[in-house]
Amino acid sequence: MKVLVLITTTILAAPAIAGTPEAMSLLKANCFSCHNPDKEKGGLDLTTRGAALRGSDEGKVLLPGRAAASRLIQVLQPAADPHMPPKAQLLPRAITALSDWVNAGAEWDAALLKDRVRPASDTLVALPKGYAPVLGVALSPDAKRLAIARGSTVVVHDLSQTNKVVATLAGHRDAVQSIAWSPDGRWLATGGYRKVRLWNSSLILARELTALDGRVTALQFADDNATLFTADGAPASSGMVRRWKLSDGARLAEWRAHGDTIYGMATSRDGRQLATAGADGVARVWDSETRKLIVQLEGHHGAVFGVAFNSDGQRLATASADHELLVWDLKTRQKATDIRVHKGGVTALRWTPDDQALVTACEDGVVRVFTDIKSHDGAQSSGTAREGKLSGASGRLHAVDVSADAKLIVTGGQNGAVYLWRDRKLAATLK
């Protein structure tokens, strides 16, 4: 979805056993926090092959070549007691990947378990001429300004003056992949590769945040208008969330929220919850202050591209590469509504502020507006919604935003165009 051109050097080594990279990633993300040399919960250390073969206080857990007989695999099943991980359920494909790895001999690759070393610098080549997809759009809180992340620049339009361009913001070395306004409209944040640029209300650069690893794939201001959450990391290794103080750029907190890229973030209206969407196929909801995991939501069969809270923070909508839009009841932690009408990956979503509709952007080039969203009543397996389509856009869409009064909808896509609908009618196309 989001492209960065890098000059890299690849060193070829002896091929690993099939499935080893994925198995190492799954073990690291789900097991090492409890089963390591310092903790050894249940007397089990899974950080090396030798330790895993020795087993736990209760005996052998890993039998290479015999996945079905290995307790390491048995405890992952939905009905297992005890169940691992204790507060989550791995997706079926993850269990299959680990089973295949055990059956293939359960070989370890220690290099894959190490945190990726952050090189001092990268050599970036210039973006290809003409490469200017719109990877992010953001309406200011009063909907008078529209910021567009197009290629390596950000263009800001004054919508009150017939879409007049008031600023072109430069300084990123590559495609800007994330963009956000603060709730009070005093800050605009733009995220590229290893860098977040913070612009004040006059669109003058105030400071940069640079202690980041890889692409900054999502940005979310806290409701206090004083701090910013950023998402960055290494694909297939780590998705980091960091919280920053706007006044001086100090880093206040950081944690590994996913084992892969974080594509989206959202905060509940009261600011107490932070939701993250991962390429690992799960969405997670965190206590924004303590960083404690509140709930992990597993129901998609592909990367989760976006998350959005409703106004009271009791429902969370998730959008995925699997073409599905799901709505979760966070009290019951169950899927309440499953919408399967998209003809491509659902790349972005927004609730309207009045909770009356969900707006989605899709790979098929269609913006959809879902109303009359109903939750399942126990007799039916999933809830329903009424689908409406906004005409006029084309090509793969990457981003969507909705004004506070729900009268303006904006989207942008791979072809570099931005489409604006007022009262569900196409009002302008910005190129």
3-state secondary structure the chain: CCCCCECCCCCCCCCCCCCHHHHHHHHHHHCCCCCCCCCCHHHCCCCCHHHHHHCECCECCCCCCCHHHCHHHHCCCCCCCCCCCCCCCCCHHHHHHHHHHHHCCCCCCHHHHCCCCCCCCCCECCCCCCCCCEEEEEECCCCCEEEEEECCEEEEEEHHHCCEEEEEECCCCCCCCEEEECCCCCCEEEECECCEEEECCCCCEEEEECCCCCECCEEEECCCCCEEEEEEEECCCEEEEEEEECCCCCEEEEEEEECCCEEEEEECCCCCEEEEEECCCEEEEEECCCCCEEEEEECCCCCEEEEEECCCCCEEEEEECCCCEEEEECCCCEEEEEECCCCCCEEEEEECCCCCEEEEEECCCCEEEEECCCCCCCCCCCECCEEEEECCCCCCEEEEEECCCCCEEEEEECCCCEEEEECCEEEEEEC
pLDDT at 413: 94
**In order along the chain (431 residues), what is the average pLDDT of each group of 10 residues?**
35 40 79 75 85 90 93 91 78 86 86 55 73 95 97 95 93 94 97 96 96 93 96 87 96 92 96 96 96 94 95 96 95 93 96 96 97 78 85 95 97 96 95 89
pLDDT at 5: 36
pLDDT at 259: 86
pLDDT at 9: 29
